[in-house]
Amino acid sequence: MSRRRARQWAGHSVEALRRRWGGRPVYAYGRVDSTNAAARELAEAGKPQGTVVVAREQSSGRGRGERAWLSPPGGLYLSMIFRPRGMVVSPLTSVLAALGIVQALDGAFAELRPRLKWPNDIVAAGRKLGGVLPEATSGEAEVRHLVVGVGINVKPIGARAPADVGRRATSLAERLDRRVELVEVADAVVAGLERYLDRPSATADAATLEALDRYDWLKGRRVRVGPEGSWDRTPGLGVGIAPDGALLFRPDRGALRRLSSGSAEVETE
């Protein structure tokens, strides 16, 4: 599809954004279908690792499990291209993308206390602040390129949002006492994505495991786990995140389990 590029995003010229983010290619759009879709096309056209795509709003924003991602103006919609040579994209990819962003947001907005909710949600005060959507395109033998898309709620969740979103989501505006510039959020997301995905590895090292442990929202909480989108969920306790990105979960009945896919809901806060 044809997408019209914008010269500015969040009050900054594309050239200024490019300088701000270390000279990497930056593609900005006003309204776009999905920054992940745009980034994928750019990756297919040969754009390098580190290329960033941002948009003011999305008409068909995509979330996990085929869900739509509500994308009105004022939110952060950003995708980055990676070219992970010889690597299989694993559950650790989403976990590390979300971990890097959580750490960067924690550094930028001290009172936010963001946490990672396995596998790829960013939460604050137990509510969803944002999410990560990695989409890989594979060739015959290995991953050709990986697009990692990030959505962060910056403005208050409006009354026009569906009721379940309103109940479960939060935004930077609701959690912080000061006004937040969209570009500050983008700075944190760009740095956070690069922190672990620049040189990806199949297993987390000791320092990364320590960070996972510190920011893990599910650890020690009563959760229900199951396949993405399913209602049939198993109750138990979140135990931690394994070096390969799997969720460690102790069901109420039975032995410790490792979940490589699916999602978890916290029972009560």
Least separation in angstroms between residue 77's CB and ligand BTN is: 4
Least separation in angstroms between residue 151's CB and ligand BTN is: 3
Binding residues (CB under 6 A) for ligand BTN: these are 34-36, 58, 61-64, 67, 69, 77, 79, 121, 131-133, 149-151
Nearer to ligand BTN, 74 or 251 (CB): 74
Least separation in angstroms between residue 39's CB and ligand BTN is: 8
Q: Pick from 185, 82, 90: which is nearest to 129 by CA?
A: 185
Burial of 238 (0-12, 13-18, 19+ CB in 10 A): buried
Least separation in angstroms between residue 8's CB and ligand BTN is: 19
Q: Pick from 216, 215, 233: which is nearest to 224 by CA?
A: 233
Nearer to ligand BTN, 64 or 222 (CB): 64
Nearer to ligand BTN, 114 or 151 (CB): 151
Burial of 157 (0-12, 13-18, 19+ CB in 10 A): buried
Nearer to ligand BTN, 174 or 237 (CB): 174
Least separation in angstroms between residue 234's CB and ligand BTN is: 21
Q: Tokens in use for 225?
A: 């786990």
Distances (CA, A) of 13 to 4, 21, 57, 192: 15, 12, 17, 22
Least separation in angstroms between residue 61's CB and ligand BTN is: 4
Nearer to ligand BTN, 101 or 204 (CB): 101
Least separation in angstroms between residue 63's CB and ligand BTN is: 3
Nearer to ligand BTN, 149 or 200 (CB): 149
Contact of 28 with 132, CB cutoff 8 Å = no
Nearer to ligand BTN, 78 or 204 (CB): 78
Q: Which helix (H) or strand (E) holds 195?
A: helix 182-197
Q: What residues have CB less than 8 Å from 204, skipping those under 6 apart?
A: 92, 96, 212, 241, 243, 244, 245
Q: Tell me if residue 134 falls in helix, strand or coil.
A: strand
**What sign results for the dihedral spanned by CA atoms 111, 190, 120, 127?**
positive
Burial of 36 (0-12, 13-18, 19+ CB in 10 A): buried
